[in-house]
Amino acid sequence: MTKIITTKAVRLKYGDSEALHGIDLDFEAKQLTTLIGPSGCGKSTFLRCLNRMNDDIPNVHVSGDIKFEGHDIYTNKTDLVALRKEVGMVFQQPTPFPFSVFDNVAFGLRLAGIKDQALIEERVIESLKQAAIWNETKDVLDRSAQSFSGGQQQRICIARALAVRPKIVLLDEPTSALDPISSAEVERTLIQLKRQYTFIMVTHNLQQASRISDQTAFFMNGDLIESGATEKMFIKPKQQMTNDYLNGRFG
Ligand SMILES: Nc1ncnc2c1ncn2[C@@H]1O[C@H](COP(=O)(O)OP(=O)(O)OP(=O)(O)O)[C@@H](O)[C@H]1O
Ligand SMILES: [Mg+2]
């Protein structure tokens, strides 16, 4: 297996308050890894480190080492637009832009300077198919993306993230704002795609983590408690704290 992201001794401070206390965690390519742990333990904070989304928050200080395909992503020379093209992101609330389905999915391609209409069209269709939202949108590509249901909007956002052909997609609780049926649709989509892309997903839903992820990392109070193959961790965790969390004793 290939490690696509490696992190060492990652510390993050919001002002004077340290939210991550030294995280060492590597991610395998073409696997789905879930980050789990109680509210406030640093899952979203850590996820945002991986494509430098925390840079947009004032007074954030990150130290340690984060490499994407062997290259340090925290250098002065790192091209953030290029990084975020390779490491895309999907948020908890579906965030389609207030324009058509087609233009939403084409957005990243146009931003990347692609002008070839035929190529854009091909990519949009392919991405909508990959995100399992093609059947519901193919006859209404010019309808506002915001007029779709929550689950449909989230799949449109996944299509938008996939359109630029990222290597990694970060997902922060992508199904927690959705009803069970939409949530199951998004899960199915991720399962179908996970051999093609690397997914790193935060979830509070332990059943979901055990259903769809290959690897799991358990965070607590800004520390990584343990990580490894999902099945192993759920059956026989190494740490007592993980065992207690998985059995609903806190969190
Ligand atoms: N923008 C911010 N400014 C200051 N502190 C922050 C900021 N964002 C997060 N924190 C703090 O950092 C810690 C980790 O927060 P984070 O959002 O990463 O947790 P989380 O594990 O994603 O929680 P949840 O499951 O509730 O989403 C918390 O103590 C939180 O209050
Ligand atoms: Mg969070």
Would the CB of 43 count as within 6 Å of ligand 1? yes
Q: Which of 20, 21, 23, 44 to mutate to test the pocket of ligand 1 (most atoms within 8 A of CB)?
A: 44
What does the DSSP assignment read for 90-124? E-SS----SSBHHHHHHHHHHHTT---HHHHHHHH
Q: What local confidence, expressed as pLDDT, does residue 9 receive?
A: 98
| The pLDDT of residue 251 is above 90 | no
Q: What local confidence, expressed as pLDDT, does residue 178 receive?
A: 85
Q: What local confidence, expressed as pLDDT, does residue 155 receive?
A: 94
In the chain, how many domains are there?
A: 1
Mean pLDDT calculated for residue range 46-75: 97
Structural domain for 156, as ranges? 3-246
**What's the pLDDT tens digit per position in 140-181?**
999 999 999 999 999 999 999 999 999 999 999 999 988 898
Q: What local confidence, expressed as pLDDT, does residue 63 receive?
A: 97
Asked whether residue 251 is domain-assigned, the answer is: no
Q: Compute the distance between CA of residue 183 and CA of residue 180 in angstroms, rounded to an integer.
A: 5
CATH number of the domain that residue 22 is part of: 3.40.50.300
Confidence of residue 26 (pLDDT cuts 50, 70, 90): very high
Percentage of residues of the chain with pLDDT beyond 70? 100
Q: What local confidence, expressed as pLDDT, does residue 250 receive?
A: 85
Asked whether residue 10 is domain-assigned, the answer is: yes
Q: What local confidence, expressed as pLDDT, does residue 226 receive?
A: 98
| The pLDDT of residue 87 is above 90 | yes
Roughly how many angstroms between the first and final C-alpha of the chain, as a whole number? Answer: 32
Asked whether residue 214 is domain-assigned, the answer is: yes
Q: Residue 122 Cα, ligand 1 centroid: separation in angstroms? A: 39
What ligand is nearest to the CA atom of residue 219? 1
Confidence of residue 242 (pLDDT cuts 50, 70, 90): very high
